Amino acid sequence: MSYRHLLTLLGIILIVLGLVERGWFLVAVWFGCDFLVLGVAHGRGSHRVFGKRADGTLPLWSWVAFLPLLIYTTVVWHLIRLFSREPARNEITEQLVVGRRLLAFELEGEFDNFVDLTAEFREPSSIRCFPSYRSFPILDGGAPTPAALRAAVASLRPGRTLIHCAQGHGRTGLFALAVLLSSGVVRSVEDGLRMLSASRPAIRLSRAQHRCIQLYAQDVG
């Protein structure tokens, strides 16, 4: 089942549950509406549905509209961070580092590009203040158009690059593959995936991300 259909179905279930049970269950209607909007956004490729700004912040209206969903994603993210044995980040080459979303105290070293791929999280202020910070929002499990991905990669400065999404798996893998292909470090998507998985085994691309990077690779080739 695609992300769009799964989120839409979950949204409908929560809305019905809230309307039937009422009382405190009415909060489920709010939650369900958030999932419905997110499902539509996935279907339309609207990666800026949360309104994330170029400086890595979320506007007030986004906090109000998506509060239940933002609380849920934040709690889940912290639980995974606390109990996962996976490193926060992994070095792929001397010039490329990939990982999950970092907290301020976890950032080590200097980077010419700090690429934030999350659409649903506000970046810590001590990180987004760096001149090297770049926000390129992509929905979890989603993929931009190959043209948008190409433009984002082309905007990077020469030098050391850190790429992250929420957990450092799908979106991070997609963008890192694009960087590796564009720089000529790898010549195929398969070679790139093997290279990434050797350092960060949990990297997995969704079907949409696979389609995107295959089209991207054709253009690069």
Residue-range domain boundaries for the chain = 3-78, 87-220
For residues 92, 97, 102, 106, the Cα torsion angle rounded to the nearest 10 degrees is 90
Instruction: Fill in the DSSP letter of residue 81.
Output: H
Q: What pLDDT is recorded for position 109?
A: 81
CATH number of 87-220: 3.90.190.10
Which residues lie closer than 8 Å to 177 by C-beta, 6 or more apart?
186, 189, 192, 193, 196, 213, 216
User: For 161-197, how does the pLDDT look when each residue is reduced to its tens digit (9 = 90+)?
Assistant: 999 999 999 999 999 999 999 999 999 999 999 999 9
Please check the confidence at residue 202 and state whether its pLDDT lies above 70.
yes
Lowest mean pLDDT across 15-29, 93-107, 195-209: 15-29
Taking CA atoms, 85 is separated from 82, 161, 182, 209, in Å, by: 8, 23, 31, 25
pTM above 0.75, yes or no: yes
- Kindly report the average pLDDT of the chain as a whole number: 93
Say if CB 120 and CB 68 are below 8 A apart. Answer: no
User: For 108-156, how does the pLDDT look when each residue is reduced to its tens digit (9 = 90+)?
Assistant: 888 999 999 999 999 999 898 889 999 999 999 999 999 999 999 999 9
User: For 67-113, how does the pLDDT look when each residue is reduced to its tens digit (9 = 90+)?
Assistant: 999 999 999 999 999 999 999 999 999 999 999 999 988 888 889 99
Say if CB 196 and CB 177 are below 8 A apart. Answer: yes
